[in-house]
Amino acid sequence: MIVTGGGSGIGRAAALLFAREGGQVVVADRSAEQARATAGMITAAGGRALAVAVDVAESVRCADMVERCLEAFGRLDIAFNNAGVGSTGFDLPEEDEEAWDRIAAVNLKGVFLCMKYEIPAMRRGGGGVIVNTASVAGLVGEKGIATYAATKHGVVGMTRTAALDHIGENIRINAVCPGGTLTPMVARSMQRPGVAELRMARHPIGRFAQPEEIARAALFLASDDASFIVGHALPVDGGLTAQ
């Protein structure tokens, strides 16, 4: 299987969890050092893992990632397309065009490129499961994150459409939509005074998620327990979208 953004946060938690469940994991991350660290944790626990440095915004790197998975493990059954970057926190008129391009390239184009190469590999193997990381920002609006929300709404739409396109090939595609989660990326986005308190207040449960809680949702969507779930965007958000 492949986990993108596997060097930290939700991706690392998912890579470790899938490995504990018997998965052979390609840990893909833009940071080769962080990918190797996660892969090392897996191998130290007796699992099998391969670290791959990947910028998911680059087509050739995504193609190489899938090819290296096939070379190492013989097939691709599961992909968790989780790599992403956060919002700059600017209102739309103040958003920098280069920031828009980078956020869109990683969060939206990156998921497209991963699926572009994962789906043919799964097709050759007789099927598979893809879980994409979207966000509650792909389901509802939130002030100050127009660029990020646009990409995550795009991931939800692309997930639903791709799911319909490929379920006939035994390729099941869904998305997980985390609420606020205690990851390094989220921590960086909350440096401004009052932002953490404001975001936490949106969650009726009264706290942020741990990365492992999102990883368990991804594991469920990838498992046979979710065999009749197709094209779904699953909120894991402490009640945020229930309001």
The two most distant CA atoms of the chain are separated, in Å, by: 51
Active site residue 117: no
What amino acid occupies position 240? L
d(CA 67, CA 62): 9
Q: CA-CA distances (angstroms) from residue 10 to 135, 212, 228?
A: 12, 7, 24
Quote the tokens at residue 174. 């869904």
- Of 73, 100, 112, 148, the catalytic one is 148
CA dihedral sign of residues 53, 58, 61, 62? positive
Quote the tokens at residue 53. 């440095």
Quote the tokens at residue 100. 């828009």
Alpha-carbon dihedral angle through residues 179, 41, 106, 157, given to the nearest 10 degrees = -50
Phi, psi (deg, nearest 5) at residue 194: 85, -10
What amino acid occupies position 196? A
d(CA 87, CA 200): 16
d(CA 80, CA 13): 12
- b/e map of 195-223 (b: 16 or more CB within 10 Å)? ebeebbebbeeeebbebbbbbbbbbbbbe
Mind telling me the catalytic residues? 148
